[in-house]
Amino acid sequence: MCFCSRISAVMCALGSAIGLFFAFGLGADRSDIYFGLWGFNPALSAICIGGMFFKFSSLSFLYAVCCCIGTCLIQGALFGMFAPWGVPIFTFPFNFGVLLFLIGHTSIVSCYNLLQ
């Protein structure tokens, strides 16, 4: 990833670290943290918001951090909701979190959207 896109590599590491620290802060099950379940979805969210759908800037960086936190909140809620049935949530928190932040970006004027 470092050879193809340095921005994606940095945002991936940042998103994974945010997910890790957020999971420890929430008191999540340590086996889930060690298997990387809490770092995967925020890492994907950071890549999408931080450098793929928005031009990389200080504002898109902060927006990506907020998206990672939102993805972690969604993931924690879905873990609790689907745990009684034993249903895995896979990448649904990533999809839902990024979609919410892409829809809500219209209120942030100075964040340059690459999709337009």
Place of tokens 């340059």: 112
Query: Which stretches within 1-116 are classed as H helix?
Result: 6-26, 30-34, 37-47, 58-82, 92-103
| Total-model pTM | 0.89
- Residue 108: the pLDDT is 63
Identify the bridge partners of residue 108 per DSSP, sorted by sequence position. none
- Residue 88: the pLDDT is 93
Among 11, 107, 116, CA closest to 57:
11
One digit per residue, the tens of pLDDT, for the chain of length 116 reads 778 899 999 999 999 999 999 999 999 999 999 999 999 999 999 999 998 888 888 888 999 999 999 999 999 999 999 999 999 999 999 999 999 998 887 766 566 666 65
Contact 65, 18 (CB under 8 A): yes
Cα distance between residue 9 and residue 29, in whole Å = 27
